Amino acid sequence: MALISYKEKTNTRRFTTRLVKPKKNIKVVKGLVEILPKNSGRSDGQIMVRHQGGRHKRYYRIIDFRREKYGVEGKVEALEYDPNRNVNVGLVTYADGEKRYILVPQGLKPGDLISSGEKAEVRTGNAMKLKNLPVGTLVHNVELTPGKGGQFGRSAGTSLMIQAKEGGFAHLKMPSGEIRMVSLESMATVGVLGNEDYKNINLGKAGRKRHMGIRPSVRGVAMDPGSHAHGGGEGRSGIGRKKPMTKYGKPAVGKTRKIGKWTSKYILKRRKG
């Protein structure tokens, strides 16, 4: 999708850009769309995620991450904008009449036929197990646990490369450079996800960010000491300690993950060498 720039009628319009949305020529399918409830980052009134609140009402599209319609051919009816993710979704009508939403890879357009399963061709939009895909194939929406549904490679412009197959596992290279072992029984969809220009969008003004439900972020050094570990002091001052800390007094830099996670044995190469 191409980027659109606005005419410089106001100071904010001068920098604002957006992506071209696909033309929607089909009505909302009942059962595949539901209202996404607002919680503003709160649970039982307590703030669990900061900087959230006040977004526009959204409808959530139920996406078929499993791609379990084995042996049933489907036709892409329409491409649609989804406010809950940075990649467009496609409405697919299968031969048995069932409709489902899928993530749209580059090159997939209305009228194309897709399928999944053992007998599916290695073609953009088709889904199959990793054991049936040749080495060097670019895939997305990859399952971490067979049968659970795709968890890897679901954002705009993303793809994973199958580098090797060994001992019941496929070696997948992530966009970050990490190489991870994934079971050959896991499902994956062929192709690179679209909307690769999403990263170049400039929101242009604060109001557009508030419509998305993102509230302002305040520097810790601008707060009082009761609200943040960096707060307090006379006039402009630094953080006043050796390491930057979070609002809750935890280290904000360096290695903060716990070493020895059970999934670490499946990582052949870390993203930072």
**Pick from 4-18, 96-110, 220-234: least confident:** 4-18
Q: What is the pLDDT of residue 241?
A: 87
Is residue 48 one of the residues assigned to a domain? yes
Q: Are residues 135 and 231 in the same domain?
A: no
Top-confidence residue, 139 or 253: 139
Report the domain count for the chain: 2
Is residue 212 one of the residues assigned to a domain? no
> pLDDT for 50-74, tens place per residue?
999 999 999 999 999 999 999 999 9
Is residue 21 one of the residues assigned to a domain? yes
Mean pLDDT within 86-99: 95
| Report field, pTM of the whole predicted structure over 0.75 | yes
Q: What is the pLDDT of residue 190?
A: 98
Is residue 215 one of the residues assigned to a domain? no
Residue type, position 165, single letter? K
Give the confidence band of 29 by pLDDT, cuts at 50, 70, 90: confident
Q: Are residues 78 and 112 in the same domain?
A: yes
Is residue 206 one of the residues assigned to a domain? no
Domain boundary among 149, 183, 199: 199
Give the confidence band of 1 by pLDDT, cuts at 50, 70, 90: low
Helix (H) or strand (E) holding 113: strand 113-114
Percent of the chain predicted with pLDDT > 70: 98
Residue 273 has pLDDT above 60, yes or no: no
Q: Is 43 exposed, middle or buried (0-12, 13-18, 19+ CB in 10 A)?
A: exposed
CA dist., res. 168 & res. 181, Å (int): 9
Tell me the residue range of the domain where 131 lies.
3-199
Is residue 57 one of the residues assigned to a domain? yes
**For residue 247, what is the domain's CATH number?**
4.10.950.10
Q: Is 49 helix (H, G, I), strand (E, B) or coil?
A: coil
Domain boundary among 199, 234, 257: 199
**For residue 163, what is the domain's CATH number?**
2.40.50.140
